[in-house]
Amino acid sequence: MTHSIRTQVAIIGAGPAGLLLGQLLHRAGIDAVIVERVSGEYVLGRIRAGVLEQVTIDLLEEAGVGERMHREGLVHGGFEMMYGGLRHRIDLQALTAGKKVMVYGQTEVTHDLMNARRAAGLPTYYEATDVQVHDFDTTHPRVTFKQGDQSFELACDFIAGCDGFHGVCRASVPPGAIREFEKVYPFGWLGLLADTPPVHDELLYVNSPRGFALCSQRSKTRSRYYLQVPLTDRVQDWTDDAFWQELRLRLDDATCAGLVTGPSLEKSIAPLRSFVTEPMRFGRMFLAGDAAHIVPPTGAKGLNLAATDVKYLSNALIEFYQEHSEAGIDSYSARCLRRIWKAERFSWWFTTLMHRFPEDSGITARFQEAELDYLLHSHAGSTSIAENYVGLPLDFAERSL
């Protein structure tokens, strides 16, 4: 027997994009059902993003989940970049008329959104298998899935594909209707999470002859560090000791002196990729977040882009239901892409500036040093980094046209 369910918006994926969309729609009185492939615990176990832009902070507030973020998140008015063994501070606040970022982990954002959804009694089907999207080229799309031995059919007005890079929604679009742009980098990031105080109270991005390193954090007592590693490395071959030793070799002596090491809580390797799908709307199905685009993590843009896609999408759907206007859904893809390409450009550029590229004769490293020397001693150069890092305003693309 198949259980039939009816909703206005079927959301595929309960990552930050899907959960935030569900919350924004709920607050506007629009029904949504979320279907997620894995369990809630599994979603919370993925250690990912750490830095929120102001627009994301505003959106989480708007969704009614800002309270713990403001209590526990760490506001950062700057970050540091190191090259040639010297540290330079990018004063975000001074360079962007007072803008800041917030260090608050994706795990916490997801946790807060899950709690709000549960408290409001909104339906989420976790551990769904065989999820399929149908008829999104008509006004009556459907989603079918199984949970245990039960079968479900979800009839809806719209499908929101918030199912990440490996999801089913983008894969269900006929190949002729979609164009994909991709760049895969010849290295990955090995990340380590530890309950040790961060080496510095702000983030430190390091360009070193041995490769990129990042000293990040989740709280005053929890650190997150990353090392650039070859794609052939396997996480099981990296002991904690080997990680700390390699990190030390990429830092200057003064920073090393303040480094507190400890056992890892989590270690993983992530490949680096730039990827964009055009368009992001296919009839009554929309893609949002990692389902539509991937950035290398160097600019800390992935989660923030997912949040702004969802902002545009929720506005468009609210306009559809409340004002009977299709203007928002018609312009959704173009508005998102204008913003996305700017963040893609920044993330690609920042990655290229800070990493060691295999098979380089040494000229790229010299170019990087010259560029860093220029940028960090030029007000215009530093301002450009700061303006992109804190995130362009939501209406930036519109204003610049």
E strand spans, 7-78: 9-12, 32-35, 51-52, 74-76
Number of neighbouring beta carbons within 10 Å of residue 178: 15
* Shortest reach from residue 236's CB to ligand RFL, in Å: 17
DSSP 383: H
Q: CA angle, 47 as apex, 45 and 52 as ends, to 5°?
A: 125
Which range touches ligand PHB (CB under 6 A), out of 4-12, 45-53, 118-126, 230-238?
Answer: 45-53
* Shortest reach from residue 224's CB to ligand PHB, in Å: 4
191 neighbors 224 (Cβ within 8 angstroms): yes
- The closest alpha carbon to 401, from 334, 313, 326, 301, belongs to 334
User: What does the block give as tokens for 29?
Assistant: 């009185």
CA 64 to chain centre: 20
Q: Is 389 one of the annotated active-site residues of the chain?
A: yes
Based on the shown chain and the rule CB under 6 A, indicate whether residue 216 belongs to the binding site for ligand PHB.
yes
284 Rama sector, left if φ>0, alpha if ψ -120 to 50, beta otherwise: alpha
Based on the shown chain and the rule CB under 6 A, indicate whether residue 204 belongs to the binding site for ligand PHB.
no
Site residues, ligand RFL (CB under 6 A):
12-18, 35-38, 43, 48-51, 106, 128, 131, 162-164, 166-168, 189, 191, 270, 289-290, 297, 300-304, 306
Q: State the Cα–Cα distance between residues 363 and 341, nearest whole angstrom.
A: 28
Among the options 185, 293, 297, 355, which is catalytic? 297
Among the options 26, 301, 342, 355, which is catalytic? 301
Residue 298: name its binding partner from ligand RFL, ligand PHB, none (Cβ under 5 to 8 Å by kind): ligand PHB
Q: State the Cα–Cα distance between residues 296 and 294, nearest whole angstrom.
A: 7
Q: Is 301 one of the annotated active-site residues of the chain?
A: yes
Q: Which residues contact 392 (CB under 8 A, 6 or more apart)?
A: 339, 342, 343
Q: Is 374 one of the annotated active-site residues of the chain?
A: no
* Shortest reach from residue 219's CB to ligand RFL, in Å: 15
Based on the shown chain and the rule CB under 6 A, indicate whether residue 300 belongs to the binding site for ligand PHB.
yes
Nearer to ligand RFL, 142 or 364 (CB): 142
* Shortest reach from residue 189's CB to ligand PHB, in Å: 8
82 neighbors 250 (Cβ within 8 angstroms): no
Q: Is 83 one of the annotated active-site residues of the chain?
A: no
Considering only residues 55-114, where is the footprint of ligand PHB by CB under 6 A?
A: none
Based on the shown chain and the rule CB under 6 A, indicate whether residue 51 belongs to the binding site for ligand PHB.
yes
Tokens 């750490």 sit at which residue?
50
Residue 122: name its binding partner from ligand RFL, ligand PHB, none (Cβ under 5 to 8 Å by kind): none
Nearer to ligand PHB, 300 or 337 (CB): 300
Residue 16: name its binding partner from ligand RFL, ligand PHB, none (Cβ under 5 to 8 Å by kind): ligand RFL
In order of 68, 120, 225, 233, 259, the CA distances from 190 in angstroms are 29, 38, 8, 9, 18
Residue 73: name its binding partner from ligand PHB, ligand RFL, none (Cβ under 5 to 8 Å by kind): none
Among the options 125, 205, 225, 312, which is catalytic? 205
Binding residues for ligand PHB, rule: CB under 6 A, are 49-51, 203, 216, 224, 297-298, 300
Q: Annotated active-site positions, please?
A: 76, 205, 297, 301, 389
